[in-house]
Amino acid sequence: MSVAEGALAPDFTLPASGGRTVSLAAMKGKPFILYFYPKADTSGCTKEACDFQEALPALAQSGLAVIGVSPDPMKPIEKFAEKYSLTFPLASDAEKVVAGAYGTWVEKSMYGRTYMGMERSTFLIDAEGKVARIWRKVKVPGHAKAVMEAAKALG
């Protein structure tokens, strides 16, 4: 299953860093960025998280929040958030239910071996809970900036 631009964002409620819970319902009326990343504290995921953290003040000016989602259990997520002083919520989708709904839990292949994994993807959700923009198979360099530009256009 996959989500399309203009469609209603699939519902979710997940545990997140700092003892928080994130949900689509709680974000109602507020635009936000929902990004999926493969694994906490790996080089690409760290760079992406730090880029979003750096962009937070500018994103907040546009009224945007950021939520990161990975299949990691809460413990490594909490360590990751602490290690890099990440203030936005990092959610655990250990059951991959939300990733499935957004079409980010996909078959990948490396060295000729196929396996299921998280596709690095970002969704810009508008205040009405609709998917305004989708970035799939994200390349980290410059990504947070591209999302910020698209978010400004939304506002």
Catalytic site residue from 40, 45, 67, 144: 45
| Residue 75: exposure state from Cβ atoms within 10 A (0-12, 13-18, ≥19) | exposed
What single string gives the DSSP state of each residue in 93-142?
A: -TT-HHHHHHT-EEEEEETTEEEEEE--EEEEE-TTSBEEEEE-S--STT
What single string gives the DSSP state of each residue in 42-55?
A: SHHHHHHHHHHHHH
Contacts of 58 (CB under 8 A, 6+ apart): 148
State yes or no: is 50 an active-site residue.
Answer: no
Question: Among all residues, which ones are annotated catalytic?
Answer: 45
